[in-house]
Amino acid sequence: MQINSFFFQSYLTQLYGLPKQASFDAEKRVMSGMSLRLKEMQQFFKLKVTGKLDEETLDVMKKPRCGVPDVAAYSTFQGDYKWKKHALTYRIENYTPDMSVAEVDDSIKRALQVWADVTPLRFTRIYRGTADIMISFAVRDHRDGYPFDGPDGFLAHAFPPYEGFGGDAHFDDDETFSYKAPQGYNLFLVAAHEFGHSLGLEHSQDPGALMYPTYVYRDIDTFALPHDDVSGIQSLYGPNPDVNPEDPKPTPPVTPNKCDPKLVLDAVTMLRGELMFFKSSFFWRSYPLSATVEQHLIKGFWPEIPDHIDAAFESPLDDKVFIIKGEKVWALYGYDMVLGYPKSISIFHLPRKVKKIDAVLYDETSYKILFFVNNQIYSYNEEQRKLEKGYPKPVEEVFSGMTGKVTAAFQYKGMDAFIQSDLQTRKSEVKPHLTQFFMIIFRFQLYLQRTKYV
Is residue 312 part of an annotated ligand binding site? yes
Helix (H, G, I), strand (E, B) or coil at 101: helix
What is the rounded CA–CA span in Å between residue 290 and residue 303?
27
- Burial (CB count within 10 angstroms: exposed 0-12, middle 13-18, buried 19+), residue 436: buried
Is residue 247 part of an annotated ligand binding site? no
Is residue 211 part of an annotated ligand binding site? yes
For residues 450 and 435, the answer to whether their CB atoms sit within 8 Å is yes
Is residue 310 part of an annotated ligand binding site? yes
For residues 196 and 225, the answer to whether their CB atoms sit within 8 Å is no
Residue of 103, 194, 294, 314 marked catalytic: 194
For residues 236 and 199, the answer to whether their CB atoms sit within 8 Å is yes
What is the rounded CA–CA span in Å between residue 7 and residue 12?
9
Q: Which residues of 287-326 are buried (b: 16+ CB within 10 A; e: fewer)?
A: eeeeeebbbbbbbbbbbebbbebbbbbbbeeeebbbbbbe
For residues 407 and 361, the answer to whether their CB atoms sit within 8 Å is no
- Return the ∠ at Cα 124 (arms to 122 and 128), rounded to 5°: 150
Is residue 86 part of an annotated ligand binding site? no
Is residue 416 part of an annotated ligand binding site? no
Confirm whether 55 is a catalytic residue: no
Is residue 144 part of an annotated ligand binding site? yes
Q: In what order do the strands lie in the sheet with 65-66?
A: 65-66, 154-158, 169-172, 133-138, 87-92, 122-125
Is residue 173 part of an annotated ligand binding site? yes
Is residue 172 part of an annotated ligand binding site? yes
Is residue 142 part of an annotated ligand binding site? yes
Is residue 197 part of an annotated ligand binding site? yes
Is residue 318 part of an annotated ligand binding site? no
Is residue 152 part of an annotated ligand binding site? no
For residues 282 and 289, the answer to whether their CB atoms sit within 8 Å is no
What is the rounded CA–CA span in Å between residue 210 and residue 227?
10
Hey, what's the torsion of the CAs at 263, 348, 327, 396, to 10 degrees? Answer: -40
- Return the ∠ at Cα 78 (arms to 149 and 24), rounded to 5°: 45
Nearest C-alpha neighbor of 437 from the set 445, 447, 426: 426
Is residue 319 part of an annotated ligand binding site? no
Is residue 149 part of an annotated ligand binding site? yes
Is residue 132 part of an annotated ligand binding site? yes
Is residue 174 part of an annotated ligand binding site? no
What is the rounded CA–CA span in Å between residue 64 and residue 293?
21
Summarize the annotated binding site as residue ranges: 66, 98, 132, 142, 144, 149-150, 157, 166, 168, 170, 172-173, 175, 193, 197, 203, 211, 266, 310, 312
Summarize the annotated binding site for Zn(2+) as residue ranges: 66, 142, 144, 157, 170, 193, 197, 203, 211
Catalytic machinery residues: 194
Summarize the annotated binding site for Ca(2+) as residue ranges: 98, 132, 149-150, 166, 168, 172-173, 175, 266, 310, 312
